[in-house]
Structure 1
């Protein structure tokens, strides 16, 4: 009996010794900027900031992680019964994109902002998803999303030629259309198989201000409607046949079709058309206070042989 009691006493003493000599606990308080960052202790995720946790005394590796930021890491010593405070200031992680195209010279947009022409390397980008747009006149645009990492992203694209159709309308109609410096006809006008990208349109019509606009042609049908501005105090004269001399108050002004500008408002003018082999045409017009006069096409009569 005494022997049994002695053995039990020894077991109790050993257990007490082991417990008293085992690892103690300390407290760890972790804050971060920005907050709600993941906290890892010795490689194990234990929560998000701001975090208060009780851990074993001794050496530990603390990591604070957040998407788009560099991992913050520190080795700490936890003391039994003591509190250790950590403030982790995270730095934004940056990456880069390198873009090449065939052919070169394509404009590259990142998140809607132009960043140069290929070949180009774009650095200082935050880690994560970005919108990429690659554009070159005469070629189809390329849009894609890329996941940027601190190791960078390489993009290589072969551009495909593309075409669109252009429909040009004007008010009033029958304006002369000059497209990229070449006369194409009168409005309303359709131009097919136009290379994608930027082009220039000029509209001309007697009695109206000349209009020049840049347009951007995309795939499919591109419709453009333009309003021409009438020139005040202008006389516009057409004739059949064309080429008749025009006299205003007996002063030669040119040959038809003709636009005569800057006539005095509310004044009466004598207008005469002459063409060899045809009877002269004579009329009087009174310029309005505002606006212009567009004479109906004058059909000249041939002289009798």
Structure 2
């Protein structure tokens, strides 16, 4: 009986250990035409279609059903896949293994895959062993890496598994797992990895980009680039990397540049590619015919010498150009011209004879500009045409001198005196009730500069225009506040002010000022008798028509007046000023000043 039981256990374990697992197709898809696994050609010279069967099950047998092929399947261990060259229009293949049940894959019937030449197809193959056998496999470990890292990892057998590379699997059953590896803008990978009992294995995958780098250049540069009617920038333009590269697909590239014809290009972008294209832009052209009297004048356009008149320029880019015509002993002509597309611009110029003259300035060293072009500095001998010339002299610290000078053939020397820039001033001003000192200094020295000034004034004691609103009865007991008028007296005061000025030369040099002041007054009351009445001072036994309380200051009064006016330099570095102070109610003063500038 005991031997019988042992025999039953041996037979049962033998059956369990030899139970066959199952193979299952997870997915089949056609890869892009640019895939690089095409290597073997058919008899007709075309590349044979390729099946890439991804699995870690080693020792698979793969064959065509009905139409055998002479090419055996090749296992690529580094990629965990079999490469099998099949036939055009192959319908069925069979996959076999000693530990798994045979699997018949009906490509067209079950998966709607019509195998074509020169195409690559990817098959994800899952394997499932009998659970009794799995218990004998033990556990293993896996280190999974990707390049670049940070890819999301999912395992079909564990829906809650969600990690990013690099990641580890520790103490997992030593069986095969289907991994889905994905990263933004990279081709996802579905692969099968089998853990080995009591071993730690490492797998690394190189992720393939789904984008393509694009480089667009043009001659000339600076053209606007539109991709599918969206503006991306100007040439040279580079769209590169995961953030800027373009996805797979068809694109229309259009290049636009002013004065040039638009260019278009249709391109097809494949993943993980670099596309470079240069656009040789065709300019929009016109023509110019130039003649002078006398002929033989040198012609320059945009600084480039083209020849002597009479001259025809058959092709020139449309738009504005700088034309310069010059001839020895004759004047130079500068002109901006505008060339239109497919039209001829005809120009005729009369050249004036020139005369040598000497230009001086006081002081010397001023830059000389003729028709806004810097020539030299004074003193300078120069040839100018016998006509009107625009002369400008500039020297730091002096106002610009501008004159339309008509050259006289009888005059060989011209002298110009420059006016020193107003750098600052000191002024004493006089007003109705105050004397002030003002100091000003320029912020920048130029034809139109700005100047800031500040000052302070002392107010002399005098009767004030304001009225005091009550009477000090304790100081003057005989005064009846009901019957007496009350006025006030300024015992002392101060003014402070800050002004902004703009230096102008229209038609003479002057400064237009605008400012803000602060006016402070100390006020003493005055008791005024009503009409012809008199006030009695008991202490002195005298009568007065008015009494001033010097011992009692009723209040201190302050104002914020604004001021505006002008300051004008005159002869011998003297300067005069006139300003109006106002608060639009209590103060309305005119202030006159005299001083000197430097």
Category of TM-score, reference length = shorter chain = 0.3 to 0.5
TM-score (normalizing by structure 1) = 0.36
* TM-score normalised over the length of structure 2: 0.22
Could you say which structure has the larger radius of gyration?
2
Determine which structure has greater relative contact order: mean sequence separation of CA pairs < 8 Å that are 6+ residues apart, divided by chain length.
Answer: 1
